[in-house]
């Protein structure tokens, strides 16, 4: 019998098959060799792995280009190959860490789904020179390093200087007979870089266009007249700083002028690009043809991914009013029908509220437009609710105070024709609390679009072993229609399939164990439960609750060292925003606990704790397929959706979680009995808010909790600095907004249920199969189909564009 392929060989086969599928193999070889030849510098005739990676990437890009052009036309009128290790080359590729946590990764899944569903869609953003920082753990503390991801260049992008556009800042508004004029502005140029986004097996290649800031050649050269030419040229950096670095806050608003500049920069460049494309009737033509904007909302849909691009609303108004000279009523009607808004958080500290004085200085024309939008909005509310000044105050776009602020979420709601949350429970909270007043006035505007993930990356690519055994049972169509996974329920009692699922998981765990032992020098028991908690570090995500369980489990082992304990390897990973002190202290606590636990000979391999350094997509692709238990333990009502929860479910982990975000719908799809659901529901959290949360009550009532807190407080985990964690203790005891202690007992009990089930491997694996079979709803293809039909007014298409070597119809 033939030896079964290893995971490594399967990945290699998938990659080779994919490349071979792009065209004739001999042609691919020739192209690869040509690229390798030009990659090598003259005085160097030995190729490095990076040379091979760039040659391979350019070869693939060349083959995508034909399809890319065809897609745009369709919608808009020594042989070094031998012995090449594709997986090794993949590892050379840098992560494009151009977002914070789930929001940026969600956008990447959406781009994949839009291309796969044949939608003529663009993704726009900023080409940050430095993405999310690289996290190093030094002596247990997070240290940030710059993410110089473009150091060796980026073979996937194509600079498009011919589409460079001006963006204006500062200046003043001049009131003329022909209307207001924004004058005396500073100009920064937006240079687009295009990246191809291939659909899955349909020859569609869409575009992601990222903008980079460039100073115009005359930037600050007034200075030349006073002789400081050198300084004027050096000052070009000031303009180019706009796209220099990503702000690394997740779920937290930091009102810095540079951040506001970034938000306007991406919006102004993108809208000019959209309008140019709308005006041009023929593909590739830059001469304006269309002059009427009546059909604009029928041809263009702009989805605001959170409030960060909210300035699209006043910017579109400025264009229609000042450039096209439309009436206010017509401009507002077109703007509203074009824009829609996705809300991604209900945490008050995350909502963008920009000081008015910043707009006065940076975007004076937009401030006047926002004032006018607000006046008309409040006039309408006044007519509906005469004399209700409190309601007017709550619903205003401008918040009174020192300083006065612009509420960007209110601007988005008022200026859009559709508003959605990203999981059913979140959308309900949006309607009943955050935007209740707006919902009362326009209930038809509010929708739900539960998030999803692409099964191409988050199953096929990261877990080929699992994809393979699924395909053997139900065929390959599930990769484009994830609901087909339901067919796996037919095999729930199939002993061979149960064994195969368990075997793939064990292989993935073994592989991760080898990687982690190399990285962290900690011996890992691959038979242990791989208990994984990976996401940005934030109080609401409650990594501290996990930490309390780790210490409780440690104490139980120490108390009864001869008792049988189910072995666990607990992994926590995620970045803390550099200025978020409490989040950084949480990392230090976890690493300090790990230090004690991992070096205690009494514990042995029954409990190991690892902090996963520099959690990012490439690490997620290794960790998620190996997980047994997925930690989704935010306080009910705080996590809008989550998407990591879906990735773990699809890859055969069981979830321990609260009834929050998409966990609620996961429990509904799989059956609540197939997840480890614990803790307060939203209604109970709200009741506790009304009554008052008293942490001391739990501390006094629960001896194990008291022991854990006393250990942290007295320096058991920080003997050299006994006071180190007093800030964490003080927060948990006296001002914990996220009520960690209130869910502690239920969480510990739920973890006991995990241990009990893990002792029955067959029953565990049957629950795993039920979860995989129920994860069809959580494909981003389903999410995007709903956006397309219910918000954008377009139908997904399964038309396969003919490849470039075939004649067009």
Please give the positions annotated as active site: 344, 535-536, 541, 643, 647
Q: How many CA atoms lie within 13 A of 316 on its CB side?
A: 30
Is the distance from CB of 501 to CB of 765 less than 8 angstroms?
yes
Contacts of 415 (CB under 8 A, 6+ apart): 310, 313, 314, 335, 336, 339, 341, 373
Number of H helices, E strands in the chain: 32, 22
Strand 446-448 vs strand 339-342: parallel, antiparallel, or unpaired?
unpaired
Task: Give CA–CA dist 594/599, Å, rounded.
Answer: 8
User: What are the CA-CA distances from residue 671 to residues 176, 481, 634 (Å)?
Assistant: 65, 21, 20
Is the separation of the CB atoms in 279 and 377 below 8 Å? no
CA count, 13 A, side-chain hemisphere, 454: 23
Q: Determine the Cα–Cα distance for residues 62 and 80; give it in Å rounded to an integer.
A: 19
Q: Is the dihedral of CA 270, 271, 276, 282 positive or negative?
A: positive
Any residues with CB less than 8 A from the CB of 740 and at least 6 apart, and which?
A: 542, 544, 545, 548, 732
Give the span between the Cα atoms of 791 and 540, in whole angstroms: 31
What is the distance between the alpha carbons of residues 764 and 762, in angstroms, rounded to a whole number? 5
What are the CA-CA distances from residue 121 to residues 40, 117, 459, 557, 788 (Å)? 37, 10, 24, 55, 10
Return all residues near 710 (Cβ < 8 A) that are at least 6 apart: none
How far apart are alpha carbons 459 and 239 in whole angstroms? 42
Residue 674 CB partners (closer than 8 Å, separation 6+): 654, 667, 767, 770, 771, 774
Compute CA 460 distance to the chain's CA centroid, rounded to the nearest angstrom. Answer: 19
- Element of type H or E holding 197: strand 186-198
Is the peptide bond between 403 and the residue preceding it cis, with omega within 30 degrees of 0?
Answer: yes
- Residues 651/466, Cβ–Cβ less than 8 Å: yes
Whole-angstrom Cα distance, residue 297 to residue 364?
27
Collapsing DSSP to helix, strand or coil, 421 comes out as strand
Torsion of CA 148, 149, 150, 153, to 10 degrees: 130
Judge residue 461's burial from the number of C-beta atoms within 10 Å of its C-beta, 0-12 exposed, 13-18 middle, 19 or more buried. Answer: middle
657: nearest Cα among 638, 696, 631:
631
Can you list the alpha helix ranges (DSSP code H) found in 311-463? 312-318, 328-338, 356-362, 364-384, 389-395, 408-414, 424-429, 436-441, 455
Inter-residue contact 74 to 66 (CB < 8 Å): no
Contact 201, 343 (CB under 8 A): no
């Amino acid at each position: 019998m033939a030896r079964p392929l290893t995971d490594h060989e399967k990945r290699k086969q998938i990659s080779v098959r994919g490349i071979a599928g792009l065209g004739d193999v001999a042609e691919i070889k020739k192209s690869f060799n040509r690229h390798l030849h030009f990659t090598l510098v003259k005085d160097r005739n030995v190729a490095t792995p990076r040379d091979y990676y760039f040659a391979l990437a350019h070869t693939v890009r060349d083959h995508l280009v034909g399809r890319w052009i065809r897609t745009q036309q369709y919608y808009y009128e020594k042989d070094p190959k031998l012995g090449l290790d594709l997986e090794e080359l993949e590892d050379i590729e840098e992560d494009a860490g151009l977002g914070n946590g789930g929001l940026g990764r969600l956008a990447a899944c959406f781009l994949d789904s839009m291309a796969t569903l044949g939608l003529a869609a663009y993704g726009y953003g900023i080409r940050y020179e430095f993405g999310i920082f690289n996290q190093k753990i030094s002596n247990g503390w997070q240290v940030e390093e710059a993410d110089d991801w473009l150091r060796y260049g980026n073979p996937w992008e194509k600079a498009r200087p011919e589409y460079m556009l001006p963006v204006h800042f500062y200046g003043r508004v001049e009131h003329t007979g022909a209307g207001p004029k924004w004058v005396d502005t500073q100009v920064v140029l937006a240079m687009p870089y295009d990246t191809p986004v291939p659909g899955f097996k349909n020859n569609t290649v869409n575009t992601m266009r990222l903008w980079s800031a460039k100073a115009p050649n005359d930037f600050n050269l007034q200075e030349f007249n006073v002789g400081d030419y050198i300084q004027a040229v050096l000052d070009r950096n000031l303009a180019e700083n706009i796209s220099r670095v990503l702000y690394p806050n997740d779920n937290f608003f930091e009102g810095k002028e540079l951040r506001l500049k970034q938000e306007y920069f991406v919006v102004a460049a993108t809208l000019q690009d959209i309008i140019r494309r709308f005006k041009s009737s023929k593909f590739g033509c830059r001469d304006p043809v269309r002059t009427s904007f009546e059909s604009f909302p029928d041809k263009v849909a702009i989805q605001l991914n959170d409030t960060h691009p909210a300035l699209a609303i006043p910017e579109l108004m400025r264009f229609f009013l000042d450039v096209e000279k439309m009436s206010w009523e017509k401009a507002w009607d077109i703007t509203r029908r074009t824009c829609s808004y996705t809300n991604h958080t209900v945490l008050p500290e995350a909502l963008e509220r920009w000081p008015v004085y910043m707009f006065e200085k940076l975007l004076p024309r937009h401030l006047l437009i926002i004032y006018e939008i607000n006046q008309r909005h409040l006039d309408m509310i006044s007519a509906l609710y005469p004399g209700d000044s409190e309601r007017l105050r709550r619903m205003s776009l401008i918040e009174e105070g020192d300083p006065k602020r612009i509420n960007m979420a209110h601007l988005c709601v008022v200026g859009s024709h559709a508003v959605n949350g990203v999981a059913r429970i979140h959308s309900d909270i949006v309607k009943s609390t955050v935007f209740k007043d707006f919902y009362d006035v326009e209930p038809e505007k509010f929708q739900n679009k539960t998030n999803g993930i692409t099964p191409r990356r988050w199953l096929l690519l990261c877990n080929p072993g699992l994809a393979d055994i699924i395909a053997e049972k139900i065929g390959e169509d599930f990769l484009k229609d994830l609901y087909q996974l339901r067919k796996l329920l037919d095999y729930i009692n199939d002993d061979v399939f149960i064994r195969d699922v368990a075997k793939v998981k064990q292989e993935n765990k073994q592989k991760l164990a080898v990687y982690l032992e190399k990285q962290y020098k900690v011996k890992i028991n691959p038979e242990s439960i791989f208990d994984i908690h990976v996401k940005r570090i934030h109080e609401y995500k409650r990594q501290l609750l996990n930490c309390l369980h780790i210490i409780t489990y440690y104490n139980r082992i120490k108390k009864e060292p001869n008792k049988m304990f189910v072995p666990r390897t607990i992994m926590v990973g995620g970045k803390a925003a550099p200025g978020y002190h409490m989040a950084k202290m949480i990392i230090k606590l976890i690493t300090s606990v790990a230090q004690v636990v991992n070096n205690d000979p009494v514990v042995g391999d029954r409990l190991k704790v690892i902090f996963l350094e520099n959690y990012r997509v490439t690490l997620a692709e290794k960790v998620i397929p190996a997980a047994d238990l997925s930690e989704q333990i935010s306080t009910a009502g705080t996590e809008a959706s989550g998407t990591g929860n879906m990735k773990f479910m699809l890859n055969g982990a069981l979830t321990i979680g609260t009834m929050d975000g998409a966990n609620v719908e996961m429990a509904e799809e799989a059956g609540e009995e197939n997840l480890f659901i614990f803790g307060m529901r939203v209604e109970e959290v709200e009741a506790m808010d009304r009554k008052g949360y008293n942490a001391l009550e739990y501390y006094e009532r629960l001896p194990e909790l008291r022991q854990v807190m006393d250990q942290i407080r007295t320096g058991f985990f920080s003997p050299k600095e006994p006071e180190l964690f007093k800030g964490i203790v003080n927060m948990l005891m006296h001002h914990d907004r996220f009520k960690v202690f209130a869910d502690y007992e239920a969480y510990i009990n739920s973890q006991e249920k995990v241990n009990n089930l893990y002792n029955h491997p067959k029953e565990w694996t049957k629950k795993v199969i039920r979860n995989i079979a129920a994860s069809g709803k959580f494909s981003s293809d389903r999410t995007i189909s709903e956006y397309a039909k219910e918000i954008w007014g377009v139908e997904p298409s399964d038309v396969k564009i003919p490849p470039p070597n075939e004649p067009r119809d």
